[in-house]
Amino acid sequence: MPGPVPGYRPTFTQAQGQECARRVRQQHDPRVRVARAKRALLLHKQPDRDSVTDARHLGQPPKWAYPWRKRWATGGFALTDRPGRGRTPVFPPRQVATAKALACALPTRRDAPLARYSTADLARLSTAHPAAPPPSVSTIWRILDRDALKPWRRWRFPRAPRFAAKAGRLLDRYAGWWDGWPLATDECRSSADEQTRSRARRRIAPTSPPRPGRAMRVEHEYGRGGARASLAAWDVRRGGVLGRGAATTGLASFGLLVDQAMRQHPYRPAPRVFWAVDNGSSHRGRAAVARRQARDPHPILVHLPIHASWRNQIARDFSIVQRKVPSPDLAAVATRLRDFEARHNDTAVPFNWRFTRQHFDDCRAALPDRPTPRATILPPSPPADAPTLRAAYPHTLLRNAALRGIPASEHCGLFRQARIPLLGQAHHHL
């Protein structure tokens, strides 16, 4: 027998129904919010539905369904709690602020023998403030992550010439732009690099498979069986990798990789193919651009700034290969890499690259001014009539001193005399 008709019958607009459907499809949304979105979709289709039936259908207690029905009918549509509701936090705001202040302080100012703090160090320092229960390591992590405070990360001041211009061009290319114009649909984008050492590692004991009540056991010690170079190119727009093995890296090996890619579809009919490369010796500077343009005008090399290899998307593929493609034999390295390439390309999709030029400009604006380098104090140059020292290295000085009978107590003076002309000559060249 059906119960009474509900007194609160909320109505939803089409945009609100689409928002709930989008929340249900998302994989990383909180489970409670997804359940609320499902409840709203059920009421959107049938406003007279019973709350107890909906709660049982969604795996929630009956008391969970009543408040949201009333709120949607009287207070408007929302999927989040009102501010001020929920359990009172255990850690007061003062202790949270103390944890953030400790994370933003340098260890050297507290006379700590550390270069940086970890979350375990911050949790230990927080116990010195007994105003509330001491937070755990995971609590410290959540507090800092909520405000994007990550003291365990460091930022390197960009020192490459034209760093902003080079990085901006690369990010525009990832977004599908070049020199202020959108790229055509038939123009390709690729990221290439070489891995100098694809090692062959042989475990000293075989790996045992998992069994009931026991996880897989992997021996951590291994013997080295040699190394082989591998070169690869990642398709930024379509996803997928194209690689080749070589005995060593160099101009010839990189040229063969480019020629191999340009003979295949969709690179062969493309009017322009943009290749993102770093500043390695195989493709460095304007000479590499001119050499490639003289051979084939279609490939265009786009160089990354110095200390920006993480912007090259092929580095992510190399990290996957390093973790997933172990090889016990050097002869099997090339075969395994080729088989993994075919297997990986069956399900490969483009990387979800979300770091744009705007994000890069915001990071540059947030950076403090670069510190002025300390001046190097060099000793004065020796006079013109000073005797010339033939020995240029410490072990040579010690051997000559022993042959000449100089006691050990005078070795420091001998080293000081040898450093003066060397530092003066280095200062002259700089």
What counts of helices (H) and strands (E) characterise the chain?
A: 15, 7
The SS3 of residue 173 is: helix
Is residue 308 included in any domain, yes or no?
yes
For the record, the structure tokens of 118 come out as 């970890």
Report the DSSP pairing between strands 222-235 and 241-246. Answer: antiparallel
Same domain, 172 and 319: yes
* Token reading at 325: 């493609």
Residue 80 lies in a domain: no
CATH number at residue 178: 3.30.420.10
Q: How far is CA 249 from CA 290, 305, 338, in A?
A: 20, 21, 18
Do 23 and 113 belong to one domain? no
Q: In what order do the strands lie in the sheet with 299-303?
A: 241-246, 222-235, 188-203, 273-277, 299-303
* Same domain assignment for residues 39 and 141: no
Q: What is the domain range of residue 70? A: 14-74
How large is the greatest C-alpha to C-alpha distance in the chain, in angstroms?
116
Q: Are residues 380 and 428 in the same domain?
A: yes
- Please tell me whether residues 266 and 321 are part of one structural domain: yes
User: Does residue 82 form part of some domain?
Assistant: no
- pLDDT at position 382 is 53
Domain boundary among the residues 146, 176, 191 is at 146
What is the number of domains present in the chain?
Answer: 4
The residues, any chain, with a CB within 8 Å of residue 108's CB and separated by 6 or more, are: none
In a domain, 2, yes or no: no
Q: Rounded to an integer, what is the distance from CA 109 to the centroid of its chain?
A: 30
- Integer Cα distance of 88 and 30 in angstroms: 20
Residue 30 lies in a domain: yes
**50-97 tens-digit pLDDT:** 888 888 888 888 777 778 888 888 888 888 877 765 555 567 787 788
- 279 and 388 assigned to the same domain: no
Same domain? 266 vs 411: no
Question: For residue 365, is it within any domain?
Answer: no
Q: Is residue 3 in a domain?
A: no
Are the C-beta atoms of 261 and 274 separated by less than 8 Å?
Answer: no
Same domain for 37 and 134: no
425: left (phi over 0), alpha (psi -120 to 50) or beta: alpha
- Cα–Cα distance for residue pair 25/271, rounded to 1 Å: 39
Q: Residue 42's pLDDT is what?
A: 85
Q: Please check whether residues 42 and 102 belong to one and the same domain.
A: no
User: Is residue 64 located within the same domain as residue 133?
Assistant: no
| Three-state DSSP string of 390-427 | CCCCHHHHHHHHHHHCCCHHHHHHHHHHHHHHHHHHHH
**Statement to judge: residues 241 and 279 lie in one domain:** yes
Residues of the chain with pLDDT under 50: 1, 152, 386-395, 397-398, 401, 403, 408-409, 411-430
- 54 and 167 share one domain: no
State the Cα–Cα distance between residues 272 and 236, nearest whole angstrom.
14
Q: Is 103 exposed, middle or buried (0-12, 13-18, 19+ CB in 10 A)?
A: buried
Instruction: Please give the pLDDT value at position 151.
Output: 54
215 is a domain residue: no
pLDDT of residue 148: 63
- From the number of C-beta atoms within 10 Å of its C-beta (0-12, 13-18, 19+), residue 243 rates as buried
